[in-house]
Structure 1
Amino acid sequence: MKRVKLTVAYDGTNYCGWQVQPNGITVQEVLNRHLSELTGEEIETIGASRTDAGVHALGNVAVFDTRVRMPGEKFSFALNQRLPEDIRIQESKEVPQDFHPRYVKSEKIYEYQILNRRFPIPTERFYSHFTYVPLDVEKMREAGTYLLGEHDFKSFCGAGAQVKTTVRCIHELNIEKSGDKITIRVRGNGFLYNMVRILAGTLMEVGSRAYPPEKIKEILEAKDRKAAGPTAPARGLTLVKIEYPEELG
């Protein structure tokens, strides 16, 4: 038995998120089915990040166990011949049997895309959140500084999350503007349910001048979801990368 790690990219538009569920088709369900057909075994992948419906990924991570003698690096080629066009394996490799993508220390990088212009662009509708309200990027950047470091992010956690602690650490938060596109890029040791989307929604409130930048400190201290801004739509969010210690891939 060996454990194989997959780096998975997908367009989340047509899926009810990553995790298998009874209400609709998911990325994990499709991956499990094609792996099972490929190996002749009953495969159930373990994913690193349970992205929501409509969220995209360039580098989500999953592992599975198999007795098939195919080298780990060959699974990417075999799977990509079977998977639908909106799911592609970027890398496959064998890892230690005890490697668990959720429990091994890692950092995740997310990007949230905002299209900020007078009218929407149809080709951007699945990959960015459109708003015609002018956003002040400098004020958004100022607000972002209050989010850096370790905090209790309970105010930025969606309802229904089952976690032992709402304390997380954000190592980097950059906000860049190129033309009409604003990109919020955040890197941290873990994120709560809907956390990045709530961060984006709250930063947009600052950008529209509904909140002053320093209100972020007040929101953190409140430890109350009602204190923060709205949850930004899923379509603007992409899981860019999950970084693990080098020796584990």
Structure 2
Amino acid sequence: MTKKVVLVVEYNGSAYKGWQAQKFDVPSVQENLEKALSVIANHTVKVVCAGRTDSGVHASAQVVHFETQAERSERAWTLGVNTYLPDDISVVAARHVDDDFHARFSALSRRYRYVIYQADFCPAILVKGVTWTYKSLDVNVMRQAAKTFIGTHDFSSFRAVGCQANTPVRTILNFDVHQLGQYIVLDVRANAFLHHMIRNFAGVLMTIGAGEQPLEWAQQVLDAKDRTKGGITASPYGLYFVDAEYPEHFNVPVCKLGPHFLPFVDESSYELSS
């Protein structure tokens, strides 16, 4: 009898050409995870994820599902699978779920955090885990600019030229900017994202925060619906997939928001949209 299992996976994407398995032995997170799962299941396993990540992008709570005929405990799908994974990929939770669950199509929202490290010198630790800037960024202005993007809009100015999405329209549910010591964290939740969308948000907000463009530029870029008006695409290194939200009846494991090196943020006072 076929069963469906959901996993929560953490990975450092620095060594991989993104999540998706590719041809010609290009290193990917998906390929490594499927190989490890296939060993434990004793048959070929294919996985589906909540949101594919690009080359160099990380995840603290990527959600995936797969189908299997193997009778295994949830412990086997975590500790057992981790035995066969490289050190930069780890399964942190597993659960058996109903047959109608789908990691991608059942998701109500996805959430990313983009971590900027503001300091005079480039860090040697987490060099590919954060985006470094020596510029002094005005967090309050960045926070105001981020509110521009909340709601349902045509985000053509923020999609990669090669984006294959059928429509540029997306709904941003929340967009907050936190100052956590020397870290500045862009925290954004949406129904779905376009290719390079968050990195292009980061490029615009960092430009505004540095005083190189006025606050109003965020609205001007959005209204232009033209990628060439949107400035630089920020580095992938500070970007983390941190959460996917599902209807409660699926009972998908919920992990603390990452990445784990960040201080805890109390969100109890925030007005979260749904």
- TM-score, normalising length from structure 2? 0.87
Cα distance, 1:213 vs structure 2: 1.2
**Which residue is equivalent to 1:155?**
157
- Corresponding residue SS for 2:10: strand
CA deviation string 1:59-78 (max 9, x = no partner): 11111111001134541121
**Which residue is equivalent to 2:201?**
199
**Which residue is equivalent to 2:264?**
none
Write the mapping of 1:131-170 to structure 2, written as runs, cut at 5 A.
131-170=133-172
**Which residue is equivalent to 1:68?**
70
- Corresponding residue SS for 1:124: coil
Q: Distance in 1 between matches of 2:75 and 2:153?
A: 39
Report the structure, 1 or 2, having the larger helix content.
1
- Corresponding residue SS for 2:161: coil
Which piece of structure 1 moves more, 136-145 or 69-78?
A: 69-78
Whether the 8 Å contact between 1:3 and 1:65 is mirrored in structure 2 is: yes
Q: Distance in 2 between matches of 1:64 and 1:153?
A: 32
**Which residue is equivalent to 2:132?**
130
Percent identity for Structure 1 against Structure 2: 37
Q: Distance in 1 between matches of 2:12 and 2:140?
A: 30
**Which residue is equivalent to 1:117?**
119
Off by >2 Å, runs of 4+ in structure 1: 71-74
Whether the 8 Å contact between 2:36 and 2:82 is mirrored in structure 1 is: no
Q: Distance in 2 between matches of 1:117 and 1:204?
A: 14
Whether the 8 Å contact between 2:51 and 2:110 is mirrored in structure 1 is: no
**Which residue is equivalent to 2:6?**
5
**Which residue is equivalent to 1:20?**
21
Structure 1 letter corresponding to 2:9 = V
Structure 1, gaps ≥5 residues long: none
Structure 2, gaps ≥5 residues long: 253-274
Count of aligned residue pairs for this structure pair: 249
Write the mapping of 1:1-249 to structure 2, written as runs, cut at 5 A.
1-22=2-23, 24-72=26-74, 74-248=76-250, 249=252
Cα distance, 1:179 vs structure 2: 2.5
Structure 2 letter corresponding to 1:242 = A
Q: Distance in 1 between matches of 2:83 and 2:221?
A: 48
Structure 1 letter corresponding to 2:245 = E
CA deviation string 1:168-194 (max 9, x = no partner): 111111111123221111111111111
Q: Distance in 2 between matches of 1:208 and 1:80?
A: 42
Q: Distance in 2 between matches of 1:32 and 1:105?
A: 21
Whether the 8 Å contact between 1:127 and 1:235 is mirrored in structure 2 is: yes
Cα distance, 1:98 vs structure 2: 2.5
- Corresponding residue SS for 2:198: helix
Q: Distance in 1 between matches of 2:37 and 2:132?
A: 37
Q: Distance in 2 between matches of 1:74 and 1:92?
A: 9
Give the alignment's Cα RMSD to 1 decimal.
Answer: 1.3
Whether the 8 Å contact between 1:219 and 1:228 is mirrored in structure 2 is: yes
Whether the 8 Å contact between 2:142 and 2:209 is mirrored in structure 1 is: yes
Q: Distance in 1 between matches of 2:19 and 2:114?
A: 18
Q: Distance in 1 between matches of 2:107 and 2:181?
A: 36
Structure 1 letter corresponding to 2:187 = R
Cα distance, 1:22 vs structure 2: 2.1
CA deviation string 1:45-70 (max 9, x = no partner): 11121101111101111111110011
Whether the 8 Å contact between 2:171 and 2:191 is mirrored in structure 1 is: yes
